[in-house]
Amino acid sequence: MIRLRPMGEAEFAAYREHALDDYSRPGHIGNWPSAEVAAREFHRQLPQGLTTPDQHLLAIDETASVRCVGFLWLAVRQRGTGPEAFIFDLVILPAFRRRGFAEDAMLELEVYVRRLGLTQISLHVFEHNTVASALYDKLGFVAFNNRLIKKLA
């Protein structure tokens, strides 16, 4: 079992370091050309850090041991159909992967999002991330649209 709770400052600093590494790694999450560009984009999304309006930066705790096993970044965004919860990032720390924590976190997130008064969760998953795609399929997420890209030499 897990619980979601707001990140503390030290956790946010650790999460930010992890996220910037992911954002600037070629072919990974953001595919930004440098760590500097990744840091700029991260700051653009979270200009006030933990207190940025409509951003929910959550720690994922295992309840049995009360230890942090990961992080979740959720934003409340306005869409044509109304507000929705958008998952920017879900991270399970390497030592805790393949134990069901991501699935448990997503199920707990549904409860959290309902408490916010929202009725929809969306996210983006890269096609090469088959593990995440399988999890989201299992949880009932459906593809809404596809973005196709062709790289030219």
The per-residue pLDDT string of the chain (153 residues; one tens digit each, 9 = 90 and over) reads 899 999 999 999 999 998 888 776 665 554 556 777 878 888 999 999 999 999 999 999 999 888 999 999 999 998 877 899 999 999 999 999 999 999 999 999 999 999 999 999 988 877 778 788 778 788 888 877 666 566 677
Domain residue extents for the chain: 2-138
> How far are the Cα atoms of 46, 60, 84, 119, 141 from residue 110, in angstroms, in the given order?
23, 14, 12, 9, 12
Q: What Å distances lie between residue 139 and 53, 77, 95, 102, CA to CA?
A: 28, 21, 23, 11
Rounded to 5°, angle at Cα 81 from 76 and 85: 20
Let me know if domain 2-138 sits in CATH 3.40.630.30.
yes
Question: What single-letter amino acid sits at 129?
Answer: N
Do 105 and 4 form a contact (C-beta atoms < 8 A)? yes
pTM of the predicted protein model: 0.84
> What's the CA gap between 23 and 42, in Å, rounded?
9
